[in-house]
Structure 1
């Protein structure tokens, strides 16, 4: 067996050049996630924080850790775990614990399983609420000490990820009264951050890192300990009591989720998967001044990300268009107005990400407001067009028009620096992201021989985004009276499609190139990027069908989903972040492309593979990504060690897969909801959609599968709308090859 020498990989190809690489330095373990607004918590199965060194445990707010340790001890020992569950709507973590055997010398003073502890944790309004309900199940009185150990490092989230700093601010811990501790950090950004921990009842003993309670129980007696950890500075200094705050937290999530169409099916496991997806989505959706915005994921991306928010909004547009409106309005509010190399900003460019921690404030990382994304701008224009066509809300389109126009000017101007008609990227400084498409890891864009591409780089799918964006917004422009602009955009889209075919199609590999490098050389690598090309409609039909066939063959399709890179490619690695793993959101967009080219039969294996994968996942939750190993009988998929879960666009993937299967289309002008060539996968006998909205009207539908066809039953309506089922003439005509392209969405 040949062993590769370290010199066979150049230093430029290693992660040492990627300052923002997320390291995996310890064993993968089960975490419990809670989030509300700009605050989230990562706890272990006991409900503890800080029990595992090097892990992203903590209570975080605005990209800063406000609590790095919060651990329960019973008579100085860690309790035994009985059970740990997050409520279905993600509001509350409930943990059942009991005491271990407690010794006095060599004698057991208290037998295990005597004290039952119910630990309840939730987050609301910048605070983490804790209740410890303790019950003595002995037939005699007992007395013992219960302690809570706490600490904080006020680490910036990037420090938690592994970013090393030469200097930090100063911290202190102060006992305030008999029941409160204040942890304070004076940052180098001249901002003071404080964590306040208030206990009820007052501890028997309280110091700077421990609260101890000497408790006496009669036989069968129950006691409660409450703790409130405040990590923000809300207006009210006196928080609501535990049960009132819990009620408010539940009602807040219920209000948000009530906008969405509800989904029920014949398959109980799929129902659990959908329930988890809805709960995760609306936990991640954060109320911002501009409207609801899906934060990208926990723990690393719980903030506004342009690309993630736009794609999540696209995936859920049929389900809850209010998300798309919030995303568009927020990104328009932060659209770049000036050129700034440090943040990769150029006029008209749409945000990549924003950060609120100390490192961003000091400029130690460039992500305070960072614009290093080549695809956020065309996706913004694309989503604006889709949103208006889904809802008929041309008033919002008018409001957004200055931002849309600025985005189009960026696409045709700074986004195409060499004026070759392709949108491309090249980071402005060495501190920015080297790769600025959705596959943004350092080694994701490469040639067939494995060497990394030099920029500027024009990604295949980005040209598709631009094509679809121009066609969609041309129709919006025509409705708003911009007739000449509409005609110009349509012409530009048509010309782009022809250039794209000439430059990107690689007959020797039977698919589209991953990208063009700075010398306009195609990167002849088989990747899932070609699959994303399909949902935009830019691909010629005959070539699209060839791409579909290739993506469903074993080098791409693992049985769980479509890999990001084919197994035969030089940099294929099923355990990598972008070079052979499986991303649920990527698969959902690819499946939508299959449907747009009439290959509904190809949607089913992708939908089924991801459903089967989720059935093995904790909480039926699809993670950000998982490994691309081939499916084996009797074994589940292999997890990726530092994947975010939940992740917004992974949570939204099942909704887009259902959309692709049913062929949902919305026509506000004619008040029609259409199902184009609807199908259901074999694991679903029926699907019921309730509160499927179009304007001020809604309908409840039941779709039943009958082998390869479906029937549609209208269960009820509110307001006036029409439901139309459209068949395109059968599988033969739908899959006929040719050089035509599908229209820009139905």
Structure 2
């Protein structure tokens, strides 16, 4: 998957709904991969602030802790004021503060004069809107584009418009609180006069329609944006520990998930990541919902509802769609609308459908909400029928994939780059390809559907699905296990050959519970080895395998969500201490990344005193990277919530180094809210219910 280059000096991101912004530390937009995007279209491709024609000096820049407001602090370089001698550097403080709300960018520019004289200079804003589709920004070439309209100039606004080849008129209107001294199609110039010790501020808005920006509008919109974000962050149980830095990681991760969650008619839905994937993805959202389910089932409910509504109902090789299949990706841009690409609603993910069923089963167990399951049952049945039809067509009875047309994704598991599935000699695998972890997902999906069918009184279906799961387990043990490796092959190709590569995919297989205990223990030993774990978490491919490259996207890098799934698998097979180690390593990586884990980072071995090495074009923030802390923590604590049984099981909990006390607060189980405290007592960790000390829900601690 190709990516364009992000600003060299780092970038800052904001998101609200279907709009997001990427800018540099000064708040400028340069027209590379940055910009203001709305519905997968870049509606602002340039925004430069200059003082007297000179770029100001950067003091600092940050997005606030709540992820609502970006603020850049700047100061002047030596300037020549209007008609006077030069002004000294560093006497004018410029604060740019901006946020997004309801598809509009709001910005306040405040200037304070700390000099001994009045400041008179020109403040210039250069701007442009190229209306490029997201895929054009990422590097796709188009044979033709639509019509860029001539700019419409008003007294305090400029309207930039583009009519796409899809017939849709897209607009970007820049409006100013003050009348510019000069206004052109690409720039606005303001005569700035700031008295000694004085402050001047003005406001800008960028949206589809012209408005009259001002202090009152700005403050009102800011308050609403903060309230909406806080409401998302307050959802679900909270985790607090005795360690300040660990708490900072938890709070940053929680804030990033709240940032990426979009309120859709079907409920809250986490968009995948900024900048490349700020849209609804199936796999990413399901994984994020699984990671956070034990704390906040609302996200899972929203994800299940949206994906059921967008389930495939027809066959399309262009979209890799078939009845019952669950969506991989959806896009709203011009290229998707014109079917220049298949991603308007694309179904080329082989694992999304079984993951959807796994999430439904896990949600029902976590909440006891069979009313939602009953409403979704037709969609769940259709998804299972697609899986069964696909497995019946495979010579081994596995779920495999091969793209329908060249425009689709060549590889359709979570490692979807073209070079991610290969043989021990480094040659490509030929389709149809059956990935090992996908068979684990199908195994877990069959068991999930069997449990749901039993609760609905459909015993025959439950029996049939359990029998099918047993048959699939036998196939995987026979066709994927490599005794010489002591490990499961990453895949089986279309010619029936095993891809004998040791990859992290098998950690997901452990999490599904498919491997027998003896083989599971051997896999655990591999995942704990230095070939896999270089000190910052499990690499996607072991260091001694073909195509290993620590700088690659999928063949040797470290993905936090992948590490979390491996930790869940290790814990399931009795290696809770190994899961704890992965939690600690991931936390230490997060510290170096400012508590915000990127989508992935390089898989170089850890060296004393050196930080993990960033992957240059990773999404940041990314939903399943932010969610990884919660799945890692669940694996270490051994917490399992069963609302149907009315109990919370805590199985041999462990706390990371430096954390002596952890409070799980406000866990909602069927309307009963409880708190559980974990505390280090010598060489063991004890867990106990605290607070009211009674209630319908039992806490069962196995220490």
- TM-score after normalising by structure 2: 0.97
Residue matched to 2:119: 142
Residue matched to 2:47: 70
- SS of the equivalent of 1:241 reads helix
CA distance in 1, matches of 2:340, 2:204: 35
Specify which of 628, 640, 646 is matched with residue 665 of structure 1.
640
- Distance change (3 Å), C-alpha of 1:719 and 1:300: farther
Specify which of 98, 101, 113 is matched with residue 75 of structure 2.
98
- Structure 1 stretch displaced more, 306-315 or 266-275: 266-275
Structure 1 unmatched runs, 5+: 1-19, 729-746
CA distance in 2, matches of 1:360, 1:411: 27
Residue matched to 1:532: 508
- Distance change (3 Å), C-alpha of 1:211 and 1:104: closer
Residue matched to 1:497: 473
Residue matched to 1:15: none
Q: Give CA-to-partner distance per residue, 1:348-377, whole Å, 9 cap, x none.
A: 000010010011011111101100010000
Matched, 1:402 2:378: yes
- Distance change (3 Å), C-alpha of 1:108 and 1:492: farther
CA distance in 2, matches of 1:128, 1:136: 26
TM-aligned CA deviation for residue 668 of structure 1: 1.5
Whether the aligned pair in 2 keeps the contact of 1:698 and 1:718 (CA below 8 Å) is no
TM-aligned CA deviation for residue 711 of structure 1: 2.0
Q: Give CA-to-partner distance per residue, 1:686-728, whole Å, 9 cap, x none.
A: 1112111112111122211235421224332498343423327
Matched, 1:557 2:533: yes
Pairing of 1:37-186 with structure 2 (within 5 A) = 37-50=17-30, 54=32, 56-103=33-80, 109-186=86-163
Matched, 1:35 2:15: yes
TM-aligned CA deviation for residue 96 of structure 1: 0.9
Specify which of 658, 661, 666 is matched with residue 683 of structure 1.
658
Specify which of 637, 649, 656 is matched with residue 631 of structure 2.
656
- Structure 1 stretch displaced more, 661-670 or 113-122: 661-670
Residue matched to 1:630: 605
Whether the aligned pair in 1 keeps the contact of 2:205 and 2:213 (CA below 8 Å) is no
CA distance in 1, matches of 2:626, 2:184: 42
Pairing of 1:591-670 with structure 2 (within 5 A) = 591-617=567-593, 619-670=594-645
- SS of the equivalent of 1:465 reads helix
Whether the aligned pair in 2 keeps the contact of 1:42 and 1:49 (CA below 8 Å) is yes
- Structure 1 stretch displaced more, 240-249 or 703-712: 703-712
CA distance in 1, matches of 2:390, 2:522: 34
- SS of the equivalent of 2:232 reads helix
Q: Give CA-to-partner distance per residue, 1:71-107, whole Å, 9 cap, x none.
A: 1111111111111111101000111111111147999
TM-aligned CA deviation for residue 567 of structure 1: 0.8
Matched, 1:229 2:210: no
Matched, 1:467 2:437: no
Residue matched to 1:576: 552
TM-aligned CA deviation for residue 27 of structure 1: 7.0
Pairing of 1:270-419 with structure 2 (within 5 A) = 270-414=246-390, 416-418=392-394
Whether the aligned pair in 1 keeps the contact of 2:78 and 2:89 (CA below 8 Å) is yes
Whether the aligned pair in 2 keeps the contact of 1:346 and 1:414 (CA below 8 Å) is no
Root mean square deviation of aligned Cα = 1.9
- SS of the equivalent of 2:689 reads strand
Residue matched to 1:5: none
CA distance in 1, matches of 2:619, 2:381: 34
Whether the aligned pair in 2 keeps the contact of 1:173 and 1:184 (CA below 8 Å) is yes
Residue matched to 1:736: none
- TM-score after normalising by structure 1: 0.92
- Structure 1 stretch displaced more, 485-494 or 168-177: 168-177
TM-aligned CA deviation for residue 442 of structure 1: 0.3
Matched, 1:443 2:419: yes
CA distance in 2, matches of 1:434, 1:174: 42
TM-aligned CA deviation for residue 666 of structure 1: 1.3
Specify which of 212, 220, 223 is matched with residue 244 of structure 1.
220
Specify which of 680, 697, 701 is matched with residue 676 of structure 2.
701
CA distance in 2, matches of 1:211, 1:163: 32
Specify which of 692, 699, 702 is matched with residue 724 of structure 1.
699
CA distance in 2, matches of 1:411, 1:419: 14
Residue matched to 1:737: none
Structure 2 unmatched runs, 5+: none
- SS of the equivalent of 2:523 reads helix
Whether the aligned pair in 2 keeps the contact of 1:353 and 1:370 (CA below 8 Å) is yes
Residue matched to 2:2: 21
- SS of the equivalent of 1:687 reads strand
- Distance change (3 Å), C-alpha of 1:623 and 1:423: same
Residue matched to 2:167: 190
TM-aligned CA deviation for residue 204 of structure 1: 1.8
Whether the aligned pair in 1 keeps the contact of 2:48 and 2:126 (CA below 8 Å) is yes
